Amino acid sequence: MDNKKSNSSTFSQNGNQSKGKSTNASMQHSQLMKLFEDELKDIYWAEKALTKAIPKMVKKATSEKLIAALTSHLAETENQIVRLENVFASMGKKATAIKCEAMDGLITEAGEIMEECETGAMCDAGIISAAQKVEHYEIATYGTLRQFAETLGLTEAAKLLEATLEEEKAADAKLTVVAVSAVNVEASEEEA
């Protein structure tokens, strides 16, 4: 926060204004708040869509480590939906979803990869590739949303979003380990 802004408005830990010219109400009606809410609706749709897409990946996967990683992340995704509902509630809003075109595209691409690949290590490598694209999209989204929440003084929302961001980073790292430790090597040895 620059010096000029910090002098005009000081916020307490819970996001309420303690002194200054700006009001928390004006923050609640700002353009950033609208963008924040729209992006929340977008990722809420995305997480719900993933609860349908991940089981298809699990069904198609053959690596036990990949199956375990995907199954674990499905449970996390279900918890992340609840966490997003808590973010909406912390702002006094009803959780609503707006179709996320980016996630829809990533899920469609994952389906195409699974259809085109032969079952086995090659398909597992494709599933990991698709899943990591999803994770990177989520990492970018949750990082941005957390920062928006901090800027808007929405401390509770920021904490909830940070928890999900850390889970997404861990899921991405777990997929990398599965790929590097076995799946990619096995896929490289399969004949085309």
d(CA 135, CA 169): 7
Could you tell me the two tokens for 80?
């992340």
**Planar angle of CA 92, 137, 80, nearest 5 degrees:** 40
Residues of the chain with pLDDT under 70: 1-29, 190-192
Q: Find the DSSP H helices in 91-120.
A: 101-116
d(CA 126, CA 138): 19
pLDDT at 3: 40
pLDDT at 192: 62
pLDDT at 24: 53
pLDDT at 148: 97
Spatial contact of 44 and 95, defined as CB atoms under 8 Å apart? yes
pLDDT digits (tens, 9 = 90+) for 118-146: 889 899 999 999 999 999 999 999 999 99
pLDDT digits (tens, 9 = 90+) for 9-18: 333 344 444 4
d(CA 92, CA 65): 41
Spatial contact of 129 and 61, defined as CB atoms under 8 Å apart? no
